[in-house]
Every structure is written in C-alpha cells, then in structure tokens.
Amino acid sequence: MTFTRSLAAFAAAGMLLGSSALISAHAQSKPTIVFVTNGASDFWKAAAAGVKKAQAELPDYKLELQYPDQATVASQNQLMDNLVSAGAKGIIVSAVDPKNSTAEFDKLAGETALFTTDSDAPQTKRIAYVGSSNILAGEQAADIAKKAMPKGGKCMGFVGLLGADNARERIQGFKQGLAGTGITLVDVRGDDMDMTRAKSNVSDILVANPAITCLVGFYSYNTPQIYAALKEGGELGKITVVGFDGDPVTLGGVKEGTIAGTVVQQPFVWAYEGMKMIASYLKGDKSAIPANGLDIIQTKIVSADNVDAYVAEQKALAQ
C-alpha cells in the first residue's frame, strides 16, 4: 500500500521512528519529548511536520514522533513504557482505547509529563489534551450530509478503532447533527486500522445493503478506501460520501464532486503546539495549560468551493 511505503520514506528521513527504536544515548543529553500516534497512517505526516517545526524552535530539546507496531492498546503501551524507560521526559499520545488504558496512563503520568492528542483519555491523570473537538467535528460531518441529501437517506459509517474516544465522539456528534432530519446512521463498522479490512467493509455493505445511500469515513484513511471500493464497484458518484481529514484521494474526490465534503483537522498544529506546551511545562511554566485541560484546535469543512485554497494552505505549512 502507498501509505506503508510513504511511512518507510519518512522513517528513512528521520521524521518518523519505528516503535522498536529507543532514544539514543546522544539524545539523553537533552530532555526528550515524543509524539506517539495510534497507529501507522499517512494522516500523521502533518504531525511529523509539526514536530519538525517545533524542533527548530526548541533546540534544547530532542523531539520525536513514533508509532506503535500495531494499532492496539498493548503495542502502544509497550512503546510508551520503553520510551519512559529510555528517559523520555514528556509524551503526547493519541490513545488507542482510553477506557482500557486508565491504569497504564496513570502509571505513565507518574513517570513523565503525559498529554493526549486526537483521542483523549480524560478519566486519566494526563495533564492536558491538544486536539479537535470530535463531537463538533461529527456535527460538521452531519452538516455535509444534510446539504448533500436534503430529502434524507441512510448512512453507513466506517472507522478504525471503535473504542477510541475520537471515534465514539465523532459518531455521537454525527448522530446529534442529524437529529430531526430524514437522515439516519444505520451502523458503523470498525477495521482496527487494517487497510484491507477497511476496504472490504465497504464492499461488503454495497452488496449486503443496497438501501444505503451514504457512506461516512470517520478516520482519515476510511474515505480513500470508500472511494476505492465505490470505484471498483461502479458506484462512484452514485452514493453520497462524507469524509474526515485531508488525504489526497479524499481531496481529489471533493474536487471532482464524488465526495460531498470532508471535515479536516490540524495534526500539524497539534504536534507543534503540543511540543511547545510540554517543553514549557517541563521548565515549570504551566501558563499554557488550559484551566479545563482542553486545548481545542478548530476543525473545518472542506468542500468543492474551498478545496484548492485548503490544499495550498497545507503545502505552505509543509515547507
């Protein structure tokens, strides 16, 4: 898959490190802060760029982005345990399954400055969350669906990690946004961030439930897999597609009109602001920590009207 090859390229460039890599002895001379993802996905390229920008402004720190070998609680927890053992002073993590990570996160919070991003774990002792309001993002996705289907419809959702807070909250927000309309969310299928399964979930629905008129990709890679399945099945442009995030396939579909719109987040900003917030915290400056522990970074809708401007904006950030 292209996302695997691109991740390998980033690793070779030193922007992403495999989960087996530990902090080097040289890095121990500087406090190390690590951005830990929930799995391997092209979505995190923007976060890697944010880490890189923050590194240029924080020369007294060693900043890294790492991803677990698998998108599982066990793999993510093992990675963070290894990082703390190797001396990481701060971690910001997208929790794979916060409900089943409370004890581990609380343990880590006693050993390092623990922050969350993308998928929060508010019931733990994490210091703060830097990321989207996933409920609001879900409501924005509902706005896309309502505009595209004024006469109503039946939607099927697809997501990577059904137990993650970001998934649950996006689904909740989507349902809230559809309240009182003729549009319903019939069900949501999970794939555990397996690309083959993500695509087959869509293909299976197209065969099993022809009454579905709308497909929603709740994770960044779900919409491209929806696109691929629809194209192979000869259904592209016949079924409303609502997306999340700015994968190039998704943005291309928005531009050509086969995807109604997508709700984009700002992982570049999460990483950039998160790293700077943790660095300040480690110096004893807690002024950047919100009183409620939530640093919400705005999401927005990208449609055919503003997709070109969004693409240009993202290219500028990556430079």
Amino acid 225: pLDDT: 98
pLDDT digits (tens, 9 = 90+) for 61-91: 999 999 999 999 999 999 999 999 999 999 9
Amino acid 6: pLDDT: 43
Amino acid 76: pLDDT: 97
Amino acid 28: pLDDT: 54
Burial-class residue 20 by CB neighbours within 10 Å (0-12, 13-18, 19+): exposed
Amino acid 314: pLDDT: 86
Is residue 141 within 8 Å of residue 171, measured between CB atoms? no
Among the CATH numbers 3.30.70.2190, 3.90.1150.10, 3.40.50.2300, 3.90.280.10, which is that of 2-132+266-288? 3.40.50.2300
The CATH class given to the 134-264 domain equals alpha beta
Q: Which residue in 241, 263, 251 sits closest to 309, CA to CA?
A: 251
Amino acid 316: pLDDT: 84
Residue ranges matching CATH 3.40.50.2300 in the chain: 2-132+266-288, 134-264
Q: What is the mean pLDDT of each run of 10 residues along the chain (319 residues)?
A: 40 42 56 96 92 97 96 95 97 93 96 96 96 97 98 97 93 97 97 96 95 97 97 96 96 97 96 98 97 96 96 83
